[in-house]
Amino acid sequence: MVRETQDNRIARTAAEVWETTANEAGELAFVSRILVQAFLPHKKPDDIIWKRTNGNFTLTIKSGIGEEEGKSKIYGVPYGSTPRLLLAWLNSEAIKNAQDKENPTPQRVYMGRSLSQFLEKIGIQRTGGTRGGITSFKSQAEKLFRAEITVTCTGTDVISERDIKVSDGRFFFWDNKNPEQTTLWESGVELSERFYQLLIQNPVPLDWRVIKGIKQSPMALDLYMWLNHRMSYLKEPVSIRWSTLEQQLGSGIENERMFKHQVRKHLAKIQVIWKGLKVDVSGSDVIRLHPSPLLIGQSRFGPTKKPVQKQAANHNFLR
């Protein structure tokens, strides 16, 4: 089997997105607006605490600490593409559950009876070994579910802060030695009440096909999610300093020149897929965003009605 090149994958994704909208194709995804204001690290951080700031909003991720075989264990901070894919999937399922008025346990998210089938759903390669997709998923999922998240919003006269756990519990029945094996019961996650409420409040709509098309790069995923969030309410051009953007994304690239190069490279891929996306990255000091039609509402048949994305006051998300 010939492995698909990156350029071919981007071109194929662009053709699919242009042919049908995400909703028409059953590929509509969501992510919490809280999780697109500041991001997880791209690479394994040196410390057990990760912090990113966007204006008066700060996201802090602390490694979970547990016990294994009678010894203390530091799980580490989740990083890379895998937790981003998992969070997007959890958010999308939470939205579905919230819309189902007959569902008595909307915080319980089921992940299926086969590990292999679940990984295929979220776009992770079903390969074994120390560097395989299965090993990465298990490690990053454990880091994410064990982590402690703090969101802070500062104002003139107030500081709002909340500590959040992603889940209150997990139930996994998958056969780790045989990921293709179908189990009798479905595996799943019990989302914490606070995390569940964050996910379903004003979510940012995404296209799963795009997520899978650019999944190899955490920065590309960050840019795609962030731009969807900004374009959902942008009414007039806005300039953002490169240094401000670097503080928001999870790159951790201290060399500003290299950071700009990486942003431009991944933005070019996104613009092949997202026709009409107007972002000027030629400036040395700022990146300039221009109002653009949302990708999820575009197809060869023309744009559909743009979803209304309410922009609440910054401090309200903590209530």
CA distance 137 to 145: 12
Total-model pTM: 0.89
Residues 6 or more apart whose Cβ sits within 8 Å of residue 89: 29, 121, 122
Amino acid identity, position 269: K
Q: Which residue has the higher pLDDT, 194 or 310?
A: 194
Question: What would the DSSP string read from start to end of 196-219?
Answer: HHHHHSSPEEEEHHHHHHTTT-HH
Cβ–Cβ under 8 Å, residues 29 and 22: yes
Q: What is the pLDDT of residue 225?
A: 96
CA distance 45 to 59: 15
Task: Indicate if the pLDDT at residue 258 is higher than 90.
Answer: yes
Tell me what the mean pLDDT of segment 298-305 comes to.
Answer: 49
For the packed helices 256-273 and 6-19, what is the interaxial angle rounded to 10 degrees? 40
CA distance 62 to 260: 28
Tell me what the mean pLDDT of segment 204-220 comes to.
Answer: 95
Tell me what the mean pLDDT of segment 226-233 comes to.
Answer: 94
Q: What is the pLDDT of residue 307?
A: 43
Task: Indicate if the pLDDT at residue 288 is higher than 50.
Answer: yes
Distances (CA, A) of 275 to 13, 23, 71: 12, 17, 53
CA distance 211 to 86: 11
CA distance 205 to 59: 21
Task: Indicate if the pLDDT at residue 97 is higher than 90.
Answer: yes
Q: pLDDT exceeding 90 applies to what percent of the chain?
A: 67
Task: Indicate if the pLDDT at residue 75 is higher than 90.
Answer: yes
Tell me what the mean pLDDT of segment 268-282 comes to.
Answer: 95
Work out the burial of residue 293: count CB atoms within 10 Å of its CB; fewer than 13 is exposed, 13-18 middle, 19 or more buried: middle
Residues 6 or more apart whose Cβ sits within 8 Å of residue 24: 299
Q: What is the pLDDT of residue 319?
A: 39
Amino acid identity, position 238: V
CA nearest neighbour of 205 among 31, 18, 27: 31
Decide if 1 is inside a domain: no
Query: The tokens 């998210």 sit on which residue?
Result: 109
Confidence of residue 202 (pLDDT cuts 50, 70, 90): confident
What's the full length of the chain, in residues?
319
pLDDT tens column, 118-174: 999 999 988 878 788 899 999 999 999 999 999 999 887 778 888 999 999 999 888
CA distance 254 to 243: 10
The number of folded domains in the chain is 1
Q: What is the pLDDT of residue 142?
A: 94
Q: What is the pLDDT of residue 308?
A: 41
For 318, which DSSP code?
A: G
DSSP run (H or E) holding 137: helix 133-146
Cβ–Cβ under 8 Å, residues 17 and 273: yes
Task: Indicate if the pLDDT at residue 81 is higher than 60.
Answer: yes
Decide if 95 is inside a domain: yes
Q: What is the pLDDT of residue 1?
A: 52
What does the H/E/C string look like for 160-193? EEEEEECEEEEECCCCCCCCCCCCCCCEEEEECH
CA distance 107 to 95: 10
Cβ–Cβ under 8 Å, residues 109 and 191: yes
Q: What is the pLDDT of residue 182?
A: 87
Where is average pLDDT lowest: 24-28, 180-184, 242-246? Answer: 180-184
Average pLDDT, the chain: 88
Q: What is the pLDDT of residue 313?
A: 39
Q: What is the pLDDT of residue 298?
A: 63
CA distance 311 to 317: 10
Structural domain containing residue 292: 6-318
Decide if 138 is inside a domain: yes
Amino acid identity, position 230: R
First-last CA distance in the chain: 52
Q: What is the pLDDT of residue 315?
A: 41
Q: What is the pLDDT of residue 176?
A: 72
Tell me what the mean pLDDT of segment 197-206 comes to.
Answer: 90
Q: Which residue has the higher pLDDT, 96 or 302?
A: 96
Task: Indicate if the pLDDT at residue 300 is higher than 80.
Answer: no
Q: What is the pLDDT of residue 309?
A: 43
Tell me what the mean pLDDT of segment 72-85 comes to.
Answer: 96
